[in-house]
Structure 1
């Protein structure tokens, strides 16, 4: 079998030592060279496999990987999916085996946005995305950690993406959505059919009358809703997430008062960082009505470290206490409710 990815000659060095130092990009290329090299890559265990895999449906149609942590994290695109119809009639490409597909046309490419990557060509793009998702899981011996749902190119794209997650691994840690729904049921389908366990990022704008058909899963680590005007008090009280960010919901001062009383009574016990851009100016008299609190001096300086390890200097604020746990409502802005638990 011919391949565009030629094996290179090396002096005698223990194979694991070589693979430990080549990085995940090279593992992908080696796995495409032959069945033997793929078998070697699959059986290898070492630092070159310390990656987080992300599968993008409808945005970049790609398998993305990242490794490292903090400021040194590196993200790159390894495999992208294109339709064979984009190939010119006089263009002949080398082929490789990906999963059960024996002759997948491929070529290496580079552009400023995506960097170096491998284009794979398929008659059906969703078949290709499912195939590279399964291939990434096999090569790196781990599940896809994040699924990105973008715009539909065909009516059944989101359904097929949900079926792939369910059939291949059952759950995903993180679900990230950025698309324009034709009808509100498009968003309902996503919230009801993807089993996300740690993070939900929604940049989806439904109609102004939208209300989810079923209560979404708010028992996760991180929740970030950009178009959050549909979030009501009942939803807020169910958000038992470590980090919650809501952008411009239609919540009012009375809703935050109810939330504080709910938290003081033991509700939303996992919340550590709740940030809400409010739709009306903050009225502390309403928010703290019936709530015991301590106003801290404006020159009192405290440092809060968020989930990403970022430090924030908090000046003053209002402290409320539940048992031996203290939370602060900051005074950073009159249009921002920021509730942090120390």
Structure 2
């Protein structure tokens, strides 16, 4: 005999809902319109929901995942898949809200004729159910539309953003990266892991953001770009910058530019070695000091036998060239010395 859950006192129901995982909550919301309304009312009465929503849209698959703040592992709660991926091997197909639906690996999959509409639908469904905003976005090259859509649908900026490595290489790469760099807003983390042509150039500002990572193909980054990156941590891979290019940046920083910078790491392209040849006017001196910067909760960067440079206001930084890498650690805590 079915359990009459909707007749259960709200206090008891609230406790039951509180122990559900996000994917279980989303699945339960599809059972009936009345139960969906019950869930929505529950989350609108809660003072604070610790779970955060993330949107993933890559190559004909849209996904909403959720996680606790500070936890990297995310739970998939709802998927939007192009109907072309629906075949005779897909089992237990049912129709919900007019869409073909299946259940796999603890979450629902909805099939759409139009992938963009499907991705938007599942994001709107989950965020409305939990009464939350999208905090993270990870997309592929064909999904850069999502950046503008997120900016338009919510006032609160993203916390994390990632442009993922594509499975193919075509002429749309430059356009995709340019669109993202000019329009993305994220407070904590921006990572670009995309290919661009040798001729690609970016003219604009990026940030403010805490961490900026260009995993690969950072060959397009110029000294002017570096000056216009408003970030606390900057990591650039496959760079073509030389010390001659970085000297103007150090001059810019010394005069008060990039005031939020804490850490800069530049990895050269094709194993090219950085040479420690700094301009005399920078007044860089050798030091036996040790520089430490905590990159993550599990990794701390340590540099020794480096150089010291001071900003006009007295704030110091340690810089070091080690084979194919250039490091800069700004010591903001010593500003009062």
TM-score of the alignment, normalized to the shorter chain, above 0.5: yes
Q: Within 1, Cα distance between the matches of 2:72 and 2:237?
A: 27
**Is 2:201 aligned against 1:211?**
yes
Contact 1:20 / 1:47 at 8 angstroms: preserved in 2? no
Q: Within 1, Cα distance between the matches of 2:183 and 2:294?
A: 34
**Is 2:304 aligned against 1:335?**
no
- When residues 91 and 37 of structure 1 are mapped into structure 2, their CA distance, relative to the original with a 3 A threshold, is same
SS of the residue corresponding to residue 248 of structure 2 reads helix
Q: Which moved more, 1:316-325 or 1:240-249?
A: 316-325
SS of the residue corresponding to residue 241 of structure 1 reads strand
**Is 2:206 aligned against 1:221?**
no
Q: Within 2, Cα distance between the matches of 1:47 and 1:73?
A: 24
Q: Within 1, Cα distance between the matches of 2:121 and 2:18?
A: 26
Q: Within 1, Cα distance between the matches of 2:113 and 2:53?
A: 24
**Structure 1 unaligned spans of 5+:** 1-5, 97-101, 111-115
Q: Within 2, Cα distance between the matches of 1:324 and 1:314?
A: 21
SS of the residue corresponding to residue 208 of structure 1 reads coil
In the other structure, the counterpart of 2:85 is 86
Q: Within 2, Cα distance between the matches of 1:20 and 1:63?
A: 20
For residue 163 of structure 1, report the CA deviation from its aligned partner: 4.8
Superposed, 1:50-89 pairs within 5 Å as: 50-59=50-59, 60-69=61-70, 73-88=72-87
Q: Within 1, Cα distance between the matches of 2:197 and 2:131?
A: 41
In the other structure, the counterpart of 1:175 is 161
SS of the residue corresponding to residue 301 of structure 2 reads strand
Q: Within 1, Cα distance between the matches of 2:7 and 2:326?
A: 60
Q: Which moved more, 1:286-295 or 1:201-210?
A: 286-295
Contact 1:134 / 1:168 at 8 angstroms: preserved in 2? no
**Is 2:116 aligned against 1:126?**
yes
In the other structure, the counterpart of 1:113 is none
**Is 2:241 aligned against 1:251?**
yes
Deviation digits for residues 126-145 of structure 1 (CA, Å, limit 9, x no counterpart): 11100011112112222112
Deviation digits for residues 168-210 of structure 1 (CA, Å, limit 9, x no counterpart): 2264333311234524333323333444454321112111111
For residue 324 of structure 1, report the CA deviation from its aligned partner: 4.2
- When residues 124 and 200 of structure 1 are mapped into structure 2, their CA distance, relative to the original with a 3 A threshold, is same
- When residues 237 and 216 of structure 1 are mapped into structure 2, their CA distance, relative to the original with a 3 A threshold, is closer
For residue 8 of structure 1, report the CA deviation from its aligned partner: 6.9
**Is 2:133 aligned against 1:143?**
yes
Q: Which moved more, 1:135-144 or 1:176-185?
A: 176-185
For residue 293 of structure 2, the aligned residue among 300, 304, 322 is: 304
Task: Name the count of aligned residue pairs.
Answer: 315
For residue 9 of structure 1, report the CA deviation from its aligned partner: 9.7
In the other structure, the counterpart of 2:284 is 293
Deviation digits for residues 26-54 of structure 1 (CA, Å, limit 9, x no counterpart): 22122222222222322334599322322
**Structure 2 unaligned spans of 5+:** 332-337
Contact 1:229 / 1:248 at 8 angstroms: preserved in 2? yes
SS of the residue corresponding to residue 219 of structure 1 reads strand
Deviation digits for residues 141-168 of structure 1 (CA, Å, limit 9, x no counterpart): 221122222143xxxx544x34532442
Contact 1:165 / 1:194 at 8 angstroms: preserved in 2? no
Deviation digits for residues 210-243 of structure 1 (CA, Å, limit 9, x no counterpart): 112x414243222111211111111111122111
Contact 1:24 / 1:48 at 8 angstroms: preserved in 2? no
**Is 2:150 aligned against 1:165?**
yes
Contact 1:328 / 1:339 at 8 angstroms: preserved in 2? yes
Superposition CA RMSD, Å: 3.0
Q: Within 1, Cα distance between the matches of 2:101 and 2:49?
A: 23
In the other structure, the counterpart of 2:273 is 281
In the other structure, the counterpart of 1:39 is 37
**Is 2:23 aligned against 1:22?**
no
